[in-house]
Amino acid sequence: MELNDRNPWQRKAARAWGILCLAVCLPVGSEARNVCLSTPNTSLVLDVEQGEEPKYVYYGRSLSPLDVENIGYVRNCDQPAYPAYGLDCPYEAAFAVRHSDGNLSTQLEVCAMEEKDTGEARTLSIRMKDKVYDFYVTLYYKAYRDVDIIEAWSSFRNEEKGEVVLGQFASAYLPVRRGDVWLSRLYGAWANEARLVQEPLRPGMEVIQNKDGVRNSHTAHAEVMFSLDGRPQEDNGRVIGAALCYGGNYKLRVNTDESEYHHFFAGINEDRSSWHLGRGEDFTTPPLALTFSSEGLGQASRNFHRWGRKYKLAHGDRERKILLNSWEGVYFKINEEGMEAMMSDIAAMGGELFVMDDGWFGGKYSRNSDKTSLGDWVTDRRKLPGGVGKLLREAEKRGIKFGIWIEPEMTNTRSELYEKHPDWIVQAPGREPVTGRGGTQLVLDLSNPDVQDYVFGVVDGLMTKYPGIDYIKWDANMGILNHGSHYLEGNRQSHLYIAYHCGFEAVCRRIREKYPDLTLQACAQGGGRANYGVLPYFDEFWVSDNTDALQRIYMQWGTSYFFPAMAMASHISAAPNHQTFRTVPLKFRIDVAMSGRLGMEIQPKDMTEEEKEMCRRAIADYKTIRPVVQKGDLYRLLSPYEGLGAASLMYVSQDKAEAVFYWWKTEHFMNQHLPRVRMSGLDAEKNYRIRELNRIDNQPLPYEGKVVSGAFLMANGLELPYVHQVERNRKNAYSSRVIYLEDAGD
């Protein structure tokens, strides 16, 4: 497979780690040259010539200086780096513009390049100009020094005499050489997010898109993986991973035409979103993060996780707290006594944070259902006489932190905010507003600077009055259901979808600048904001409103393709489950929740003392393994999607001194036969002591406390009983294991 990156200049003598470039801005010379941009284990090469269109040469495993020098002679990729519409009309384009005189064609040529070194990464920019018009396109490539990710994006500048209109504006294009190429992607719906589908690429067009307007990962994801050597495998084969870092409407296209390539385009969904550029104005697209793995899907995922933790996820270097959220415990029935009781319970079980969810606010309208009060962010003293301040003091007494739920992008028709500012909502001109959740919910228009100030003020007001708030759960329970803005001018209505997210990002940036230590969760009617466009401002996301442990295995498995465990909020919930009504034993629920950021979504007063004690022990054990789970490398071992009756994964610390192995039985039949799972990622030369966590069996496993080599565990694995050895009246169909491995020394 081959990718290309335009670099200004080429040196024959490559630097040791493989970047060919100069440290100043220079025009490109007249002769063709290959430009190489590298990460620790990958290389991207472009063919760049002044006055010509740059072309992709190579993307894959790291190249030696000799190969970089001679790759122009052996390459077989001759695809443009950023195909423009107009002079090759039958083929898909990355970019299309209507020039100020109405001309729809564009022909780009390279005119300049620049390199910037920030220490953590090198960013290369390639400036191109239309051969006739004063219209400029710049391509950017950012290669990280310590993680195998290259980000690519584009920007546009209009210097024509009049306005131009962007009709298509992909962040990047990538040609993928045809062969036995398979696509791995995520799809789903509310309460069933991030389901994995893998399929071979066939002739024709594959389109993955979102048009929600507010959230973008319920029904599909803006991340994909291409397996270049046939059916996707975890540990083998070449893989290209791509993740669009954008929180709004997106479109991913894979066009398999009569050429030798699958043509991959990724960027903002241009549908009803044409962008007008006046003279002297710029437009920049969100980055597309690319990674390459020669060790299957697993290494591609680990590449994304390391990059995500270090460069994209807010506070990616900090361990996440163990929390109790009030939602499934009480729903809207918030009261002071109940909140204090839940705080006492989570503190007694060893938790570190209590989050008061929806239902705490409302002035004129009390928030007793989803039909009122959004926008009226004042404490409902009828429910909380002592206010939020008293709850903060009570949390401090118990030695835990306090968090709170808000939905600041929304309002209800029954709210004081809407009565005062009906022009602040998203509304089609001349039409009645279209409502969402509860029949009364509306979306605020974040393209409007006044609305941006208001939304920032919701957080700022809470934090100013209650600086002890440690955590905010930020929800978004509605998409844009009608297209229109009271703020945008008539000929700029097509800007709404993009301007909304520009406004959202501006608000988030202000919050982070003023409150850098605040923990924020992106909850968007469940898993609607699992994307790297919002994660620079959020510490984690809510994977799904569905907390059923069995179904969570499938959803969290898919999510793990691109996102690290510390970003995935995973909670122990009640049985029967509130969404599926499935009755899953507590042991299984705990074992699933402990594979992500552990929390609880339950009413502790409904639990038995035995169940509370079991959770207390699990929380204590999770604190031991938390650094490994949240900061270690993930190895997916047995997929639930293979239908083999079980699922298994493990996390391994960076120094390979610790590991946590998870195993869950997903199907329940008499006389069933499950595969033995071999481990991965361990040090073959190390010896590991085995300890089972969350044990409920009357007798320990036969290898409890024993020491086994990493080589044996990776070659053979451990034999796991299909059932738990407990009293007959405590038996059930479910079985799961969490095994902690620790370096036993020599």
* Residue reference for tokens 């008499």: 670
* Residue reference for tokens 């390391």: 306
User: Distance between CA 141 and CA 151 in Å, rounded?
Assistant: 6
Length of the chain measured in residues = 746
Helix (H) or strand (E) holding 69: helix 65-74
Q: Which residues pair with 288 in a beta bridge?
A: 152, 244
348 by Cβ neighbours in 10 Å (0-12 / 13-18 / 19+) ranks as middle
Q: Give the 3-state secondary structure of 415-475.
A: CHHHHHCHHHEECCCCCCCCCCHHHCEEEECCCCHHHHHHHHHHHHHHHHHCCCEEEEEEC
Helix (H) or strand (E) holding 37: strand 33-38
Alpha-carbon distances, residue 254 vs 57, 226, 263, 331, 508 (angstroms): 19, 11, 5, 43, 32
Both tokens of 137, joined, read 């396109």
Catalytic residue among 5, 475, 548, 591: 475
Catalytic residue among 212, 545, 548, 591: 545
Sign of torsion over alpha carbons 33, 37, 41, 42: negative
Coil, helix or strand at residue 570 = strand
Helix (H) or strand (E) holding 554: helix 549-559
Both tokens of 330, joined, read 């009480």
475 in catalytic set: yes
Residues 241, 4 contacting (CB under 8 angstroms)? no
User: Distance between CA 580 and CA 193 in Å, rounded?
Assistant: 14
- The alpha carbon of residue 636 and the mean position of all alpha carbons in its chain are separated, in whole angstroms, by 18
User: Distance between CA 375 and CA 407 in Å, rounded?
Assistant: 8
Alpha-carbon distances, residue 213 vs 267, 457, 481 (angstroms): 14, 23, 8
User: Distance between CA 367 and CA 376 in Å, rounded?
Assistant: 9
128, 173, 236, 122: which is closest to 3 by C-alpha?
A: 173
Coil, helix or strand at residue 170 = strand
Residues 143, 122 contacting (CB under 8 angstroms)? yes
Angle at 375 between CA 372 and CA 376, to 5 degrees: 80
545 in catalytic set: yes
Query: What's the first-to-final CA gap in the chain, in angstroms?
Result: 44
Catalytic residue numbers, as ranges: 475, 545
